[in-house]
Amino acid sequence: MRLILLGPPGAGKGTQAAGIAEKYSVPHISTGDIFRKNIKEGTELGKKAQDYMNQGLLVPDSLVVDIVEDRLMEDDAKSGFLLDGFPRTVNQAEALDKVLSKMSTSLNKVVNIKVDSGILVERAVGRRICRACAATYHIKFNAPSVESVCDKCGGELYQRDDDNEATVSKRVKVYLDETSPLINYYAKRGKIVEIEGEQDIDKVFADIVKALEV
């Protein structure tokens, strides 16, 4: 299975990515993880990326594509992969197509998890995290037994500074503005699978599997 996973912040992509990677025995490839790995290992690509980041600049598409291509050439990705966080733009999608063509392969599907922006804001604003063990709660959907106290370790629960309505709304808008052309790009190629993300986690996963195995 060669897949791309799309979805706005708070759509539950991380949970679904873990399930997909396990079921289909493919690596979950996050561009953020790739960057951190290359920078930590001091690879040439990592050094170039670090130079841009140190200057407060966005890493250019050409370098992002090189890093992704390098990762897709590793042994564990030869039988399939799940890309998360890439591509972000149509330019990157076109570059990925060229990389895959060079590898004599192509994408199977692009999974797009849809969640209403109002719900995404509610999910983020209500999130609470344990300072001690990092367990995650939600004041409405997954509340702790005792307010502000972690069920697992008794640690203090807190709200992240960026989990406020204004910041979350901006993050979601930026994501939607960036990715809507990308969704159209893959829809025209018959690759998009639209998944309703406002359901129970298990139901979302079941819908993904069903769509992939049609």
Degrees (nearest 5) of the Cα angle 83, 62, 43?
A: 80
Q: Whole-number mean pLDDT of the chain?
A: 92
**CA 27 remoteness from chain centre:** 13
Q: Which residue has the tokens 């590793």?
A: 74
Residue 88: active-site member: yes
**CB within 8 A of 81, min separation 6: which ones?**
2, 3, 26, 27, 29, 72
Residue type, position 204, single letter: V
Strand-pair category, 157-158 with 127-130: antiparallel
So where are the chain's domains?
2-115+166-212, 127-162
Active-site annotation holder among 109, 127, 128, 191: 127
pLDDT band at 156 (very low <50, low <70, confident <90, very high): very high
Residue 189: active-site member: no
Residue 160: active-site member: yes
Give 11-63 pLDDT, tens digit per residue.
888 889 989 999 999 999 988 888 888 889 999 988 988 888 888 877 888 98
Give 61-115 pLDDT, tens digit per residue.
898 999 899 999 999 999 999 999 899 899 999 999 999 999 999 999 999 999 9
What predicted TM-score, i.e. pTM, was given to this entire model?
A: 0.82
Residue 131: active-site member: no
Whole-number CA gyration radius for the chain:
18
Residue 127: active-site member: yes
Which pLDDT value is given to residue 34?
86
Q: Is the preceding omega at residue 8 within 30 degrees of 0, hence cis?
A: no
Active-site annotation holder among 2, 13, 71, 191: 13
**CB within 8 A of 67, min separation 6: which ones?**
31, 34, 35, 38, 45, 49
Name the DSSP letter for residue 20. H
CATH of 2-115+166-212 given 3.30.479.10, 3.40.50.300, 3.10.130.10, 3.40.50.1820 = 3.40.50.300
Active-site annotation holder among 98, 160, 173, 189: 160
